[in-house]
Amino acid sequence: MMSQQDKFDLAIVGAGIVGLAHALAAVRRGLSVVVIDRDAQANGASVRNFGFITVTGQERGQVWRRAMRSRDIWQEVAGPAGIDIIQRGTIVVARRPEARSVVEAFLQTEMGEGCSLLEPDDLRRQYPQLAGQDFAGALWSPYEVRVESREAIPRLAAFLAEQHGVEFRRETAVRGIEPPAIETSRGTVRADKVIVCPGDDLATLYPERIALYGVRRCKLQMMRLADPGFRLPSPVMSDLGLARYSGFGALPEATALRRRLESDQRHALDNGVHLIVVQSADGTLVVGDSHHYAATPDPFASERVDEIILEEFSAVFGGTPPRVLERWTGIYASAADHTMFADCPQKNVRMVMITSGTGASTSFAIAEEVIDELFGSTTADARKIA
């Protein structure tokens, strides 16, 4: 049902995590907000992921700082929004000596503060769920939190609507933007300023601006496995993640690991596979993922790619993986030279696209920066949008 309000301080196009993060940042400043989305509910990348708010391993510098800030905001809003934090921290298993060298180097950086190296005996004792007999150790990080995306995104939207008066206009397509008028399939919405959060829609709004950033799409494959009969207090990653995540992979020590993986697990690298395993409240495991890039990726999941993911699962946990209950693909916008961009296609309009698959991990911090830039900083030293 439409409210009687006919003018807003801010209109947000897109109700995924990026759009919701901007709505939160705006209402925290006392702004009136309307969120417009073409779908009836969240159905894209925001709900087809691990719900893993990842700090450790993010690109060194600004991206890592944004992840830390976003993690803090998740913890601030989780309770009031009724969002359960299911797991905390991360274990990154080092299966090979070359992986241990990356962990040791990481711990010497500012990003490693508060993290620690678990020796093989400590790892076996503290994490008996893991196979562990030949592991070279593991990195423990205390910083991560994990939510169930399928539940967290609708609960965050409900929290914004019920507690902060954000108006949602769903099943509504935006056809044109000339602030203060936003033309939609259900009439004109009026707002002083507009933030467009298009997700992986590269063609509907400002396609010529998106093209400047070399954006394409990334397809990933994920699975839900049956309850394995044990509980994981933290998400688990492995050597493949140490090579892929730039906070690790950009370290000089990662070169030797990458060479080893090219010899040992060429098919995994060719398919962009790295291992993340998280556990839901019902005991089931969400496992993935892979990365394939194209302007329009095909919609079909490869059985061989799933097998490669499960092979790494078995190498870390031992034995045969639990039964696969669900399989799905996700799509997100990707650009080789950008982790995100906040473009200014016209006066009083910003377009924000996260192009690194880190929406859940960085959106809240990015949204604060964008709102500061668009409405004026609330601090003496405004953060600069990169």
Residue 191 has pLDDT above 50, yes or no: yes
Collapsing DSSP to helix, strand or coil, 273 comes out as: coil
Residue 379 pLDDT level (bands cut at 50, 70, 90): very low
Maximum Cα–Cα distance for the chain, whole Å?
65
Q: Where does the chain hold its CATH 3.50.50.60 domain(s)?
A: 1-86+147-213+337-386
**CATH architecture, domain 88-144+216-334:** 2-Layer Sandwich (3.30)
Q: Find out if CATH 3.40.640.10 is the number for domain 1-86+147-213+337-386.
A: no
Nearest Cα residue to 179 out of 379, 68, 345: 345
The secondary element (H helix, E strand) that includes residue 241 is: helix 239-244
CA–CA separation, 227 and 284 (whole Å): 4
Residue 2 pLDDT level (bands cut at 50, 70, 90): very low
DSSP-derived secondary structure letter, 29: T
CA–CA separation, 153 and 168 (whole Å): 14
Tell me the pLDDT tens digit for each residue of 316-361: 999 999 999 999 999 999 998 889 999 999 999 999 999 999 999 9
CA–CA separation, 249 and 258 (whole Å): 8
Collapsing DSSP to helix, strand or coil, 133 comes out as: coil
Mean pLDDT of the chain: 94
Residue 19 has pLDDT above 50, yes or no: yes
Query: What's the confidence (pLDDT) of residue 42?
Result: 87
Collapsing DSSP to helix, strand or coil, 205 comes out as: coil
Measured in residues, the chain has a length of 386
Q: Where does the chain hold its CATH 3.30.9.10 domain(s)?
A: 88-144+216-334
Nearest Cα residue to 182 out of 354, 352, 17, 346: 346
CA–CA separation, 222 and 331 (whole Å): 11
Residue bearing tokens 């539940």? 151
Residue 132 pLDDT level (bands cut at 50, 70, 90): low
Residue 384 has pLDDT above 70, yes or no: no
Record the pTM. 0.94
